[in-house]
Structure 1
Amino acid sequence: MTTDQHRGTPTPTPRGGPDPTPVSGYPARPSVRAGDLLRLHVSTRADRFRVDFFRCGAATRHMGGFSAPGKDAPDGRHDQDWQWPGHDFAVPAHWPSGVYIAVLRPHAAGPPDLPASGTGAEALDARDCRLLFVVTAAGSAKARILYKVPVLTYHAYNTSGGGSLYGSPQTHARALGHRIATVTLRRPGGGIGGPVKGQPDAHDRRTPRQTFAHWDAPFIAWLENAGLAADYCTDLDLHTDPHLTDGYRLLLSAGHDEYWSEAARRHVTAFRDLGGNIANFGANTCWWRVAISADGAMVRCAKLPPGASPGTDVDTLRGAPDHWWETEPENTLTGVSYRNGGGHWEGARSPLGFTVQHTEHPVFAGTGLRDGDVLGAEHSLVGYECDGADLHRDATGRAFATGRDGTPAGFTVLGVAALPTDPASGWHTAARENEDPHRAATFGLYTAGGTVFTAATVDWPRLLPLDHQVRTLTRNVVDLLSRSSGVLDRPRTTDHG
C-alpha cells in the first residue's frame, strides 16, 4: 500500500510499484439506465487518467473503459457538492443491469494493471481510486426480481470530507442548533472508494462493514450462482420513481439497509399492498428516515432530540425527529424492528443462531431442520445488528408476535434468538420503549397483499458460502416469492397464551 498524500487515504499499490499520481472520483448520480450517459467526476494530478468498468456478480467481469485528460481539484466537505470536473460515458445499451465498480488510475502506455476478471468484489474493494454505480434495466425486458442497493446507507457511513450522518468533529464542536446531519452523494465513497465509519468485522476482516463488498456482493454472487436472474436499482431510484417496481414479483435487499426516505417507503409499501413480495435478508432495516434534496444530491437526517447533547446515543432516547419507530414503526412494513433486537459492534461474538419453529413451512424444505433446532450458530449468524418483534410464548413455549410494537397481525415467527443481557457479552440493547432488557432477534414472514420475509440479522449474507441450511432456506424464500403466484400461505397457528 502507498499513502495518497493528496487525499490522505491509503490507495492500492499496482503490481508495477508505487503510484505517485492517484485518481479519485464519484458518479453524478448513483445509477444510470443502460443506453444513457453516465457522468463521472474525477480529480487527479496526472495528465490523463483511465477508467475501467467491472460488473460484480457470480464473477467479476471487465466490461470496458475509457481515458480522458486529467485535472486536479480540491477536496470538499462532507455536506457540500465537491464539483469536480465531469466526464461523460455512453453506457452501452447491451450492458446488463447490475452493480458496477469503476477502477481509476493514471493513464499509462501498454496494458492497464487491473484486478483479474473473475475475482470476487473484495479484490476490487479499496478506500480510494474506486467508485460504484448501478446500471438499471433498459426497455421493457425485466426479471422477476428487483434487487435494491442501499446507497443511502453507504453514504450515511461514508466519511469523505470529514463527516457522515453520524456527525463530524466540526458539528460536534458547534452549538446545539446543528441538529440535522447532512451529507452529499457527490463525493468519493458510498459503497466503495472512500473512508468508512465503524469497527472492523471480527468475523470477516477482508472488507470493512458498510461497504458493497462486505454485505451485498456476497449475496449477489450467490444469487447469480444459483441461476436467479435479477435487475438492480438503488434506494434513490425507489425514492424517485413510484412505478419502478411495476412488473416485478419480488423486491429483494440484503445486509444493512438502514436509511429510508419517506417516498421510498411509501412506494415499497404500495408495491406490497398490490401483491408484490419483499424479502429482506438483513436487519436494522428502515431505522432512520432521511430527506433527499430535489436534485437527488443531498441527504439529511434529524437525529438529535431537543435538549440532547451532540454525541449522545440517540437510540436510548425518545424524541429523535427521524426515528421511524417513533412516528410510523418500521414493523408495519418489515414485521420487525431494531428496537426489539440489538447490536454487537466490536470484537468476536459468541455463537448465536435462531431456534426455529413451524418447520413444516415450505421455507424450511430441504434444510433438515426440526422445531427446536438451531440455525446458524456455528458461524454466529445472529449479529452485528439484528431486528426483533415484541414476543410472548404460549403454554407450549412457542413464540408469537404480540403486535404491540406494530408488527402486523398474522406475522409468523420462524425463529428466535434471545440476545445475551450480561454487559460483558458485548451486546447493546437500548431501553427504548420499556425497561425490559430482554430482546430477541426474530425472523419470519407475513402476508398483507404480498408476502414480506425478514431474515432479521445483518450477517445473513456472510453465511451463504458457509452454511448449507442458510443457503437452502434462502433459495426456498427467493424461489417461492419470485414465482408468478408467489404468496406464501402461513402455517395454521393457535395462540394458547
Structure 2
Amino acid sequence: MAGVRRRRALGLLAFGASAATAGALWHTSSPPGAEPVAAGWGKAPTPKPAPAGPAGPAPVIGENEATGTAWPPKGSRRPGVDDRHRQIQGYASATSVAPGQAIDFHIAVDPAGPYRITIVRLGWYGGAGARELLTSPELTGGPQPVPLPEPDGGALICRWPVSWTLRVPDDWTSGLYQAIFTSAEGWRGYAPFVVRDDRRAAALCVVLPFTTYQAYNQWPMDGTIGRSLYYGYQDGALNYERRSLTVSFDRPYAYDGRPKHLDRDHHFIRWAERQGYDVAYATTEDLHSGRLDPARHQGIVFCGHDEYWSEPMRVAADRAVAAGTSLAFFAANSVYWHIRLNPSADGRPERLITCHKTAPDPGADTAGPTTYWRKVAHDGSRAEQGLLGIQYNGIVTDPQPLVVSSAGHWFWSGTGLADGDRIPGLVGGEADGRYSGLPRPTGVATTLAASPYRTRQGQQRLQRTHLYETPQGGLVFAAGTLFWTMALDRPKHRDARVERATANLLDRMIRD
C-alpha cells in the first residue's frame, strides 16, 4: 500500500465533531489529558504526518478528533453486577459486524424493568478512551434462565430472545465497541463486539482475541454452574476436572461483561490511535472464517493475550508470512491451544469453541486433537515456535526487567538503550522462550531481549523477545511477555523506550 504514513503529535488531537449520532441520549464528559511518559526513559515517537490514501486521511484519524467520554464509564450509582444476582447481563449475536449489517443483543434484567443500551467505541479520543455513538429507545426486560450444561462438552448455551437489534450505520469507523446495558436502578452490564471495515484495506489490521476472551469466561461465577475451558465448580470451589470441553459465545461474560484480558488490547488501541496509525479491526473468528484476508494489509497485529487458535487461523497466518505480510504479537503464550470453532444450532458461524486439552479428543479431525499446538503433531512440527520464533515457557512469579540484546538493531533505534540495559517490570504475567529440537522459522532471526525469570514452580527460565525477517520481506515479531502493551499506555507503566521500539517496528511493517 503506497504512501502510507502516520502519527500526529502525542496529545494534540483536536476535538471536533459531535460525539453522538442521531438517537444518542447520554451527555459526553470532558476527556482527561494524556498520562505523562516517564522522564528520562528514551525518546518518544517522533510526530509524523497522518496517513492518507486516495480518499483522504485514514478514517481513524478523523474519528479520534471527535469529543470522547471517559472509559471505563464513571458515575454508576451501583457496585458491579455479580453472577449470583445477575442484575443486568447480556451478549451479542456475533463477535464482529460490518457497517450496514445487523447485530442482536440478548439481555436479562433482574428485577424486571426498563433499561437502555448505549454503544461506545473504544479508542484514544484525547485520552478519554471512548466515544458514545448512540443509545437505544427505552426497553423493557426481565430475568432469563441460566442453562444447564450441554451433555456433549458441557457448554452453557443461553437461548434468550432478541432484546434489541442494531443496524450498524454505514459511517461507523472500524474498532472495538462496547454495548453498555443500563437498568433503571443504575446497574450496568457490557458486551464487546468489533466493527470491521470490509471495504477499505488499512495499513494495519488489529485482531482482537475473542476466542481467548471466551475460553477464560467463567460465567456464571456463582459457585455452582459456571464453566470455562479452565474450570467448573465442585463443592463451591473451582476445579479443573469439572471444566467444559466446549464453551459458547451465546452467554454473557462473567460479572459485568468486560472480558478478562481485554484491557491489554485497549492499551494498544489507545496507543496506536494516539499515534495516528492507519488501523482497522477484526476478531479471531474473522481470521478463522476468511472474512479477514491478511494479504489485504501490510501488517497484522495481535496485541492481546491470543492463546486459542484454530487450524484455519494458523493456516491463514502461515500463508500471510509466506506471502510477505508482517505479523506482530505484542504478548506471550500466543497460539498455545489448538481449538475447533463450530456453528450454533441455528447455523450462526463460530459460536462454539472446543478444546479438550489433556483429555482424549473423540472429535479429532484431519487438523488433529484439540491440545497444545506443540503436541498436535507427534513430531512437534506444528509447535507455535515455527510461526512465532519463540513459544510459551512459563508463568512469571514476579515482574522482572527486560534485558536488552542486539541494541544496534533498528528495532531499538532512538531508544538510547545498550546491550544489557534493563527495562524494569516489563517481563510479567507469562513469558516465551526458545526451545531446541522444535521448528524454527525461515529467515534472519534476532533476539532483541533475553531476560532471566523464575516460574511459579521455582524454575529458572530465560524469556526472549524475538524478531525475524522472512525471505519474502515480511517481519514477524513476538514480544514474549504479557506486559508489553502496559508499557505503551497504562499509567505508572508507560516507558518511552518501549513506545519508540514499538513505533520502529510498525513503521518498518508499513513502509513503502
Give 1:172 deviation, angstroms: 12
TM-score for the superposition, normalised by structure 2: 0.71
Structure 1 segments of 4 or more deviating over 6 A?
A: 17-21, 176-180
What is the distance in 1 between the residues matched to 2:500 and 2:321? 25
Give the corresponding residue for 2:168: 91
> Which of 453, 457, 461 does residue 485 from structure 2 map onto?
461
Does residue 1:384 correspond to 2:443, yes or no? no
Question: Structure 1 pair 299/170, CA: closer, same or farther in 2 (3 Å)?
Answer: farther
> Which of 294, 317, 337 does residue 391 from structure 2 map onto?
337
> Which of 449, 452, 474 does residue 415 from structure 1 map onto?
449
> Which of 415, 419, 422 does residue 371 from structure 1 map onto?
419
Q: Contact 2:488/2:495 (CA < 8 Å) preserved in 1? A: yes
What is the distance in 2 between the residues matched to 1:160 and 1:195? 11
> Which of 262, 269, 293 does residue 318 from structure 2 map onto?
269
Give the secondary structure class of the aligned counterpart of 2:294. Answer: coil
What is the distance in 2 between the residues matched to 1:55 and 1:362? 34
One-letter amino acid of the structure 2 residue matched with residue 31 of structure 1: S
Q: Encode CA deviations 1:344-387: one digit per residue, 9 max, x unaligned.
A: 36xxx25x22222222211111000112222x22xx11011011
Give 1:408 deviation, angstroms: 2.1
What is the distance in 1 between the residues matched to 2:113 and 2:300? 44
> Which of 485, 494, 498 does residue 470 from structure 1 map onto?
498
What is the distance in 2 between the residues matched to 1:195 and 1:99? 12
Give runs of aligned pairs for residues 281-300 of structure 1, distance below 5 A: 281-294=330-343, 295-300=349-354
Question: Structure 1 pair 103/306, CA: closer, same or farther in 2 (3 Å)?
Answer: closer
What is the distance in 2 between the residues matched to 1:157 and 1:359? 37
Give the corresponding residue for 2:466: 444
Q: Encode CA deviations 1:100-145: one digit per residue, 9 max, x unaligned.
A: 111101259xxxx8xxxxxxxxxxxx9x611100000142x22100
What is the distance in 1 between the residues matched to 2:147 and 2:270? 34
Give the corresponding residue for 2:219: 160
Give 1:211 deviation, angstroms: 2.9
Give the secondary structure class of the aligned counterpart of 1:215. Answer: helix
Give 1:242 deviation, angstroms: 6.3
Q: Contact 1:215/1:462 (CA < 8 Å) preserved in 2? A: yes
Give the secondary structure class of the aligned counterpart of 1:255. Answer: coil
Does residue 1:356 correspond to 2:390, yes or no? no
One-letter amino acid of the structure 2 residue matched with residue 474 of structure 1: T
Q: Contact 2:295/2:323 (CA < 8 Å) preserved in 1? A: no
What is the distance in 2 between the residues matched to 1:107 and 1:195? 20
What is the distance in 2 between the residues matched to 1:101 and 1:335? 34
One-letter amino acid of the structure 2 residue matched with residue 427 of structure 1: R
Does residue 1:66 correspond to 2:94, yes or no? no
Q: Encode CA deviations 1:306-336: one digit per residue, 9 max, x unaligned.
A: 69xxxxxxxxxxx985110112100011111
Q: Encode CA deviations 1:188-215: one digit per residue, 9 max, x unaligned.
A: 018x83487xxxxxxxxxxxxx331x21
Give the corresponding residue for 2:180: 103
One-letter amino acid of the structure 1 residue matched with residue 307 of structure 2: E
Give the secondary structure class of the aligned counterpart of 2:355. Answer: strand
TM-score for the superposition, normalised by structure 1: 0.73
Runs of 5+ consecutive residues of structure 2 not aligned to the other structure? 1-72, 150-154, 221-225, 344-348, 362-367
> Which of 261, 266, 283 does residue 211 from structure 1 map onto?
261
CA RMSD of aligned residues (A): 3.1
Runs of 5+ consecutive residues of structure 1 not aligned to the other structure? 1-11, 114-125, 197-209, 308-318, 391-401, 421-425, 430-436, 485-497
Question: Structure 1 pair 37/344, CA: closer, same or farther in 2 (3 Å)?
Answer: same
Q: Contact 2:448/2:464 (CA < 8 Å) preserved in 1? A: yes
Q: Contact 2:205/2:280 (CA < 8 Å) preserved in 1? A: yes
What is the distance in 1 between the residues matched to 2:244 and 2:146? 23
Count matched residues. Answer: 396
Give the secondary structure class of the aligned counterpart of 2:282. Answer: strand
Give 1:97 deviation, angstroms: 0.3
Give the secondary structure class of the aligned counterpart of 1:460. Answer: coil
What is the distance in 1 between the residues matched to 2:258 and 2:105? 19
What is the percent sequence identity of the aligned residues? 29
Question: Structure 1 pair 105/15, CA: closer, same or farther in 2 (3 Å)?
Answer: closer
Question: Structure 1 pair 47/323, CA: closer, same or farther in 2 (3 Å)?
Answer: same
One-letter amino acid of the structure 2 residue matched with residue 412 of structure 1: T
Give the secondary structure class of the aligned counterpart of 2:418. Answer: coil
Does residue 1:57 correspond to 2:91, yes or no? no
Give the secondary structure class of the aligned counterpart of 2:165. Answer: strand
What is the distance in 2 between the residues matched to 1:235 and 1:407? 24
Question: Structure 1 pair 172/323, CA: closer, same or farther in 2 (3 Å)?
Answer: farther
